[in-house]
Structure 1
Amino acid sequence: MTKLLVVEDEVKLRDNISHFLASEGFSVITAADGLEALKMVREESPDLLLLDIMLPELNGIQICKIVRQESAVPVIMLTALGDEENVLSGLEQGADDYIIKPFRMRELVARIRAVLRRHRAAPVSGNMLHYGDLALDLDAVRLEKNGQEIPLTPTEFKLLSMMARQPGRAFTRLQLLEGAIGEAFENYERTVDTHIFNLRKKIEAQAGKPRYIQTVFGIGYRFGERS
């Protein structure tokens, strides 16, 4: 049974989430503050961490940063409406997804299952990534579409491979910039948009309706779900 750790200091919300997730067939454990959450991550080895941002002791951003240094467990952040800065911070620390309060329980379950599918799937065969009509050879630094090589610049290849390794995860522009050139400068983060525009022209059937490189409004980009 899939084990979920729900970290939320608001008792009523924590209980409601826990009961609903249990009714959906998940094993649920809970924590009310940051220190307890870290203890349970280390001792209970949950399959996914549902993590509120505003917590006593340690906040969700701090917890996510520590967890990412120790584990690859998927993390979904719970955040208040319009709290874009914290959403960005959570994603930059390695969160896999986020959901804004108030939310519907059905939507939460759908997000959890989607993140678990992405985490458990194994698209890598050796050092090859296969998605639809694309084949990405990480060793040869080569992309093929329907068996035909698609020439990419080094920056384009780094951006594409970074996203393709974690399909469905939202990356900020700064994360993509740092991954592509090794450093991130806020004044240049919009240059990522130009690289993405060029990539879409090369790999998408319709650049205006992208299947692979999708925009996450207010955040950045993600690689679409594998088919």
Structure 2
Amino acid sequence: MTGLRVLVVDDEPQILRFLRPALEASGYEVLHAAAGREALRLIANSAPDIIVLDLGLPDMDGKEVLVEARKFTAAPILVLSARDREAEKIAALDLGADDYVEKPFAIGELLARLRSALRHRGGGEAQPMHVEVDGLAIDMDKRRVTKSGAAVKLTPKEYDLLCILARHAGRVVTHGQILTSVWGPAHKDDTQYLRVFIGQLRAKIESDPAAPTIIRTEAGIGYRFSEE
């Protein structure tokens, strides 16, 4: 039992009927808001531990709710988004959402995303200094990367790119976030440039660069570093 409070912000009754039993079975106390202003009142008054936010709300845009909520809560916010609204998903992530799940979605994936978001928010967003996944080891303190025990030679930019993804393992990092962090704001739209660097990086760290398991592509959005 988690003992945590989750706020589901969605105006579709069937979504709540689908989510509530699974969330309660996982130990969450479930709060519900069918509109944006109601959601903001509940966030302010009930202090949920995590928020599941649909972007399509009847009274205000879900991104507006996200912006307002971020003024007074640090709780993880997981966005629900329709498949054909990539631009809105990118905007939501850039505005402070922790992750997103596409509609329609599997309940198992949603629960896993909630657990991941809560882990990352816990402990005040401490930055990992050592990451290991699929034979790859990153020692950020010593700036050393190995694959199956052998040293991996990376350029400074490749290393910075790897680290920003690894520090956000399990979460989507958008193209704009990566480009701004590694190359600066002037390059925030150079997605083709980023794809070239991702290809070079995968060639050095993936067991099969054609079928990557460490750095996964989120089509049209960005990349997600594996937690497994």
Please, which moves more after superposition, 164-173 or 125-134?
125-134
Q: Tell whether the 8 Å contact from 1:173 to 1:190 is kept in structure 2 after alignment.
A: no
Could you tell me the TM-score, scaled by structure 2's length?
Answer: 0.81
How far apart are residue 150 of structure 1 and its match?
2.1
Structure 1 pair 18/211, CA: closer, same or farther in 2 (3 Å)? same
Q: Tell whether the 8 Å contact from 1:35 to 1:57 is kept in structure 2 after alignment.
A: yes
Please, which moves more after superposition, 108-117 or 75-84?
108-117
Match of 2:107, as an amino acid? L
Q: Which runs of 5+ in 1 are unaligned?
A: none
Structure 1 pair 87/118, CA: closer, same or farther in 2 (3 Å)? closer
How far apart are residue 70 of structure 1 and its match?
4.7
Match of 1:34, as an amino acid? G
Partner SS state of residue 210, structure 1: coil
Residue 84 (structure 2) pairs with residue 85 (structure 1):
no
Q: Tell whether the 8 Å contact from 1:99 to 1:108 is kept in structure 2 after alignment.
A: no
Aligned residue pairs total 223
Residue 204 of structure 2 is aligned with which of 183, 198, 202? Answer: 202
Match of 1:217, as an amino acid? A
Residue 111 (structure 2) pairs with residue 112 (structure 1):
yes
How far apart are residue 99 of structure 1 and its match?
2.8
How far apart are residue 207 of structure 1 and its match?
1.1
In structure 2, C-alpha distance between the alignment counterparts of 1:29 and 1:184, rounded to whole Å: 42
In structure 1, C-alpha distance between the alignment counterparts of 2:168 and 2:91, rounded to whole Å: 18
How far apart are residue 197 of structure 1 and its match?
0.7
Structure 2 counterparts to residues 34-183 of structure 1, below 5 A: 34-68=36-70, 70-103=72-105, 107-117=106-116, 119-120=118-119, 128-132=129-133, 133-183=135-185
Structure 1 pair 13/148, CA: closer, same or farther in 2 (3 Å)? closer
In structure 2, C-alpha distance between the alignment counterparts of 1:72 and 1:140, rounded to whole Å: 31
Query: What is the RMSD of the two structures over their aligned residues, measured on CA atoms?
Result: 2.9
How far apart are residue 41 of structure 1 and its match?
2.5
Structure 1 pair 204/81, CA: closer, same or farther in 2 (3 Å)? closer
Structure 1 pair 162/126, CA: closer, same or farther in 2 (3 Å)? closer
In structure 1, C-alpha distance between the alignment counterparts of 2:86 and 2:27, rounded to whole Å: 32
In structure 2, C-alpha distance between the alignment counterparts of 1:224 and 1:146, rounded to whole Å: 17
How far apart are residue 205 of structure 1 and its match?
1.5
Partner SS state of residue 190, structure 1: helix
How far apart are residue 49 of structure 1 and its match?
0.9
Q: Which runs of 5+ in 2 are unaligned?
A: none
Q: Tell whether the 8 Å contact from 1:51 to 1:60 is kept in structure 2 after alignment.
A: yes
Match of 2:76, as an amino acid? P
Structure 1 pair 5/148, CA: closer, same or farther in 2 (3 Å)? same
How far apart are residue 23 of structure 1 and its match?
4.4
Match of 1:145, as an amino acid? K
In structure 2, C-alpha distance between the alignment counterparts of 1:16 and 1:47, rounded to whole Å: 20
Alpha-carbon deviations, 1:176-213, whole Å to 9, x = none?
10111221546522111011111111111211121211
In structure 2, C-alpha distance between the alignment counterparts of 1:26 and 1:193, rounded to whole Å: 39
